[in-house]
Structure 1
Amino acid sequence: MRNRLLTLIMSLALVTATGVAATASDVGARDPVGRFLARMSLPEKVGQLFVTQVYGADATAPSTADAAANRQAYGVDTPAEVVARYHLGGVIYFAWSHNLDAPRQIATLSNGLQHAATTSGSRMPLLISTDQEHGVVTRLPAPATQFPGSMALGAARSPAHAFTAAAITGRELRAVGIVQPWAPVADVNVNPANPVIGVRSFGGDPRLAAGLTAAQVTGFQQGADASAAAKHFPGHGDTATDSHTGLPVIEHTREQWQRLDAPPFRAAIAAGVDTIMSAHIVVPALDPSGDPATLSPRILTGLLRQELGFPGVVVTDSLSMAGVREKYGDDRVPVLALKAGADLLLMPPDLDLAYRSVLDAVRSGELTEARIDTSVRRVLALKQRRGLLADPTVDVGAAERVVGRTAHLRIAQAVTDRTVTAVRNDAGLLPLAPVPRSVLVAGWNSATARNVPVLAERLAARGTRSTALPTGLPSDAAIAEATAAARAHDLTVVLTRRADPAGDPGGRQRRLVAALLGTGRPVIVVAVGEPYDIAYLPGVGTYLATYGTAPVSMEALARVLLGERPPSGRLPVTIPPADDPEGVLYPYGHGLSW
């Protein structure tokens, strides 16, 4: 009897042990994030919280200058060594760090960095990112498809087009190994003097911004399996200070914040956005401490996590920006950001100092390892969700076939054609009669987009005799040259950008437009940035807005000017008079057609 009882007990023990082992195995299969986290050392975990730039077009063979830049910043020569040394969670690409040249090169760089990440330290793949908002913040160069920026999409009023722009952008980014586009911008631009958001916003109406933000989140994530990031929480749309150079203070009441700033972030969260980026702004109604939102537990944890219910990754805006460095030292900022509720720390000015500061904070007990684990788990879950744990590499050959494919370019032009807004056409000058004429194209010009010569070329291709005269912020000599040229042409198209006193303190663009009007020849003024310029340009009878300078925008403008298609964009902001920021010169939704 006793032997049978002992046998039964041993059998039960064996069954139980086998069951426990099977259960543990099942748990490991169900929770690969937990499995990865459990094998990481503290230095590896801390490294997962940092995203920074690396210098060079190749992971292991940078140029001599780029190797020197890596050595100065990180103490090693190659991008791959930077990744391995700090166990980085992510890398951000820029043209100025020489990461972005051509699709094959970018894809090869991405694969090289992923190899470095997955063969060293925690063997955890990277989140590779770049700022691909389109419009004024566009990192991936041609042949990548260029869409108009957010405010242009706001003028088009089409969630479907916003979705499509994000989906195509995301697919091209994924083709070269970039997972995070750091878009869309969810800020509601209610301040015409805003120096840092402006056309990066979908517009000044929270409902419009919310709808298009949600559409782009869905386009990136469901249409391309890219990781969207709504920015800049709790809302950077009503500031006259650039957080790159100072610390903005937004005086919205809590009720105003709920009504104006919160809707796009609520919409992004409802759409399942992976990431939300914090802003280096002070909002006293949300946190009276004077700390920027990036360092505010009340805003990142109390408001974003608890009140809005955001479960995903919170990333800081660049920690190199002045707005987050005014109050605390560079050793304290990353620690305080984590204590506030951030998960990813973007571009600290001194990575080694920031990395050591977080490690020291854990070792001293200021931060617990459990707190670090919470953020690392969110970061790893995002990587798993976007397929990086399975395979982070890309097909280098396919990158060239996907990026800038003809179908994408055709769709981008069709989307952009719906964005041009006609604000004034007092004399019925537009559309221009389809007869040969001489046209001077002058004014503000982007060196990268070459919008003045591109518009002249597009008009010339349609039979006009066009002359390009980029003047930028014109000198007196340039104004005189443009005025003389205008007298020798049938009409002038002059492009302006930020012609207000803040954007052009010397009034040079305003003097150029006045001089051109003084010739008595027909003048068409086109704002290629924010549409507010008309308030500062008295006497202008024909005025349009493109909200951007990209070639697709200049092609769309040419089509409208020559009557190939009517303008269908509507103002996504209110244009106030120059002397009354609370007044209405042209209302939200205004737009002419013919």
Structure 2
Amino acid sequence: MKWTLQSLSLEQKVGQLFICGFDDIEANEHARALVEQHQVGGIIYFRRNVRSLSQLSALSDSLQELAAAGDQPPLFIAIDQEGGMVARIDQDGVNRVPGSMALGASGREEDAYIAAQICARELRSVGVNMNFAPCLDVNNNPRNPVIGVRSFGEDPEAVARLGCAVIRGYQEEAVSATAKHFPGHGDTSVDSHLGRASVPHDRERLNRVELVPFAQAIREGVDAIMTAHVSFPAIEDSGYPATLSRPVLTGLLREEMGFQGLIVTDCLEMHAISKQYGVAEGAVLAILAGADCVLVSHTYAEQDAAIRAVVEAVRSGRIPESRIDASVERILALKQRQIKQREQLPLSASGVPQEEVQQLLYAIAGRSLTLVKDEGQLPIRKDVDTLVIWPELRQATQVDEAWSKSYTLGDALKDYGVPVRELRISTDMTDEEVAQVVQDADGYKQIIAVTYTAESRLPHGQQQLVNKLASLQRGSLVVLASRNPYDIEFLEGIKTYLCSYENTPPLMQAAAAALIGKLKPKGKLPVALGEEYPLAHSS
């Protein structure tokens, strides 16, 4: 690669530190300004940028061509393709790999590696070379509103083991992995998209829990680590969140833990940063703290102001140019390594036939699906009219991007020949809606109630509905928690409870197979559900 630190101007060097997003399915004026004018180091995709795989591949090519035409280093093209409930690319033809908590329930490193490898090959085929995954947050707070099933679970060693398998799966396919959210966002009750959270634990506890997966990821050679907009008083006593904290990023991550890869901020437009510091000042503070790449995902005015603020901070002497240079050297080194690795890999997106990939994902789903309890109601009867209650997903967290599921549990049961009527409900039901569904359920001897948690607890309407159906005892009632396993803590009188950790097609197919007795769920709880259902429990 011909680009060196010495060949770049100050403005070009600062541009390399920024990863930015835009709202279109082609390289519009916003995108062109980012690449041609600001010469940013990377672009981040969201679902707003995706219509089809061929379109996305063409978009990636056009962005890289813009950079090449300006004699710039190639772009990082990044995405949050965590699997499960956080997948920006989910069009027809895309393999829906399981998310972290489903893999945590499987517990098999091989499953985590295969899922990541499948994902990485598809990302590489559309020009994506950096994935903002995996989440190495240890989810030991059941009321966490933003991590939840994005975590592998509550056991730090399991999170480390499975997370490193995912990192290997990505990086062996020339897609840089990004472990997040350092030093840990798992034990919080505030979503940093909306406000600032704090983890108040002492350093001994952080070493024993939160930092364990990140230390292992560093030993594994992870390319990048993303920061958390969370404050850690045991490390940083000024009140700065980790993203802006020199004691966290430079003192802990660089010097103490020995990380030599890229430090990437979470998006600075999130309220934890933008509302208190502003995006431009946040960018300056993050770079002073030790961040290499600054993520500003949405608004051109904020992106433009942040880049200009960093250039001015260098010119004024507030940021030493040597601080910029150190980051640019790391960025250029990773880009060079990516180019070499891609040249050595086969051009095909996947060496495994599509049918075999689907079989692999179905097998992983079966090893993830967890039967928490069953008092003699499984398998269900295939010759009985069955009511499936399906929550129509809107959005559960700020990270999800809402879309309607085209393949439901009812569809999966119909594929197995079960006579199904499916009632679609809102995730947040009114009292009137609850009463109507209870009335509609009258006469059914076999009911499957699917729950879906929005934010950090099962919505009151879903609680009311399931508890009312259970109290009526009209026939068999099976509950499937299709996201957070913690839903059972809000339910009473439930005889059969399964956890799928996500409502993606592979898990719905596995759940349907388990309901009719065709598949034995093999997953074990990756989190404890109160005292009754401890970590690693299965029925």
Task: Determine if the TM-score, normalized by the shorter chain, exceeds 0.5.
Answer: yes
Asked if the contact 1:132–1:181 (Cα under 8 Å) also holds between the matched residues in 2, the reply is yes
SS in 2 for 1:276: strand
Residue of structure 2 equivalent to 1:54: 22
| Counterpart among 437, 445, 449 of residue 494 in structure 1 | 449
Question: 1:404, CA displacement in angstroms?
Answer: 9.3
Question: 1:585, CA displacement in angstroms?
Answer: 2.6
Residue of structure 1 equivalent to 2:398: none
Asked if the contact 1:535–1:585 (Cα under 8 Å) also holds between the matched residues in 2, the reply is no
| Counterpart among 291, 309, 313 of residue 357 in structure 1 | 309
1:299-378 alignment, distance < 5 Å: 299-347=248-296, 350-378=302-330
Question: 1:518, CA displacement in angstroms?
Answer: 3.2
Higher mean displacement: 381-390 or 178-187: 381-390
Residue of structure 2 equivalent to 1:457: 411
Counterpart AA for 2:462: Q
Cα distance change of structure 1 residues 513 and 79 upon mapping to structure 2, 3 Å threshold: same
SS in 2 for 1:418: helix
Cα distance change of structure 1 residues 453 and 183 upon mapping to structure 2, 3 Å threshold: closer
Cα distance change of structure 1 residues 452 and 93 upon mapping to structure 2, 3 Å threshold: closer
Q: Does 1:236 align with 2:219?
A: no
Residue of structure 2 equivalent to 1:27: none
| Counterpart among 349, 356, 379 of residue 431 in structure 1 | 379
Cα distance change of structure 1 residues 300 and 281 upon mapping to structure 2, 3 Å threshold: same
If asked which structure has higher relative contact order (CA below 8 Å, sep 6+), I would say 2
| Counterpart among 523, 533, 538 of residue 586 in structure 1 | 533
Asked if the contact 2:139–2:154 (Cα under 8 Å) also holds between the matched residues in 1, the reply is yes
Asked if the contact 1:81–1:116 (Cα under 8 Å) also holds between the matched residues in 2, the reply is no
1:463-482 alignment, distance < 5 Å: 463-472=417-426, 473-482=428-437
Q: Give me the identity figure in percent.
A: 40
Residue of structure 1 equivalent to 2:399: none
| Counterpart among 333, 339, 361 of residue 412 in structure 1 | 361
**d(CA) in 1 for partners of 2:352, 2:294:** 29
1:137-176 alignment, distance < 5 Å: 137-142=86-91, 143-176=93-126
Q: Does 1:36 align with 2:19?
A: no
1:517-532 alignment, distance < 5 Å: 517-520=470-473, 521-532=475-486
Counterpart AA for 2:322: A
Cα distance change of structure 1 residues 251 and 571 upon mapping to structure 2, 3 Å threshold: same
Asked if the contact 1:305–1:311 (Cα under 8 Å) also holds between the matched residues in 2, the reply is yes
Residue of structure 1 equivalent to 2:198: 249
SS in 2 for 1:469: strand
Counterpart AA for 2:15: G
Q: Does 1:569 align with 2:537?
A: no
1:87-106 alignment, distance < 5 Å: 87-96=39-48, 99-106=49-56
Question: 1:37, CA displacement in angstroms?
Answer: 2.0
Asked if the contact 1:111–1:394 (Cα under 8 Å) also holds between the matched residues in 2, the reply is no
Question: 1:492, CA displacement in angstroms?
Answer: 0.6
**d(CA) in 2 for partners of 1:78, 1:289:** 37
| Higher alpha-carbon Rg | 1
Question: 1:453, CA displacement in angstroms?
Answer: 6.0
Cα distance change of structure 1 residues 437 and 512 upon mapping to structure 2, 3 Å threshold: same
Output the aligned Cα RMSD: 2.2
Asked if the contact 1:125–1:389 (Cα under 8 Å) also holds between the matched residues in 2, the reply is no
TM-score (norm 2): 0.93
Question: 1:437, CA displacement in angstroms?
Answer: 1.2
- Count of aligned pairs between the two proteins: 526
SS in 1 for 2:472: coil
Question: 1:325, CA displacement in angstroms?
Answer: 2.8
Counterpart AA for 2:434: I
**d(CA) in 1 for partners of 2:30, 2:193:** 28
Cα distance change of structure 1 residues 393 and 110 upon mapping to structure 2, 3 Å threshold: farther
Residue of structure 2 equivalent to 1:186: 136
1:158-307 alignment, distance < 5 Å: 158-222=108-172, 224-307=173-256
Cα distance change of structure 1 residues 153 and 464 upon mapping to structure 2, 3 Å threshold: same
Question: 1:510, CA displacement in angstroms?
Answer: 0.9
Cα distance change of structure 1 residues 313 and 238 upon mapping to structure 2, 3 Å threshold: same
Cα deviations by residue, 1:348-372 (Å, 9 ceiling, x for unpaired): 6501110111100111111122211
Question: 1:530, CA displacement in angstroms?
Answer: 1.3
Question: 1:452, CA displacement in angstroms?
Answer: 9.1
Residue of structure 2 equivalent to 1:511: 464
Asked if the contact 2:458–2:487 (Cα under 8 Å) also holds between the matched residues in 1, the reply is no
Question: 1:402, CA displacement in angstroms?
Answer: 8.0
Asked if the contact 2:457–2:487 (Cα under 8 Å) also holds between the matched residues in 1, the reply is no
- Unaligned 5+ residue runs, structure 2? 395-401
Question: 1:382, CA displacement in angstroms?
Answer: 1.0
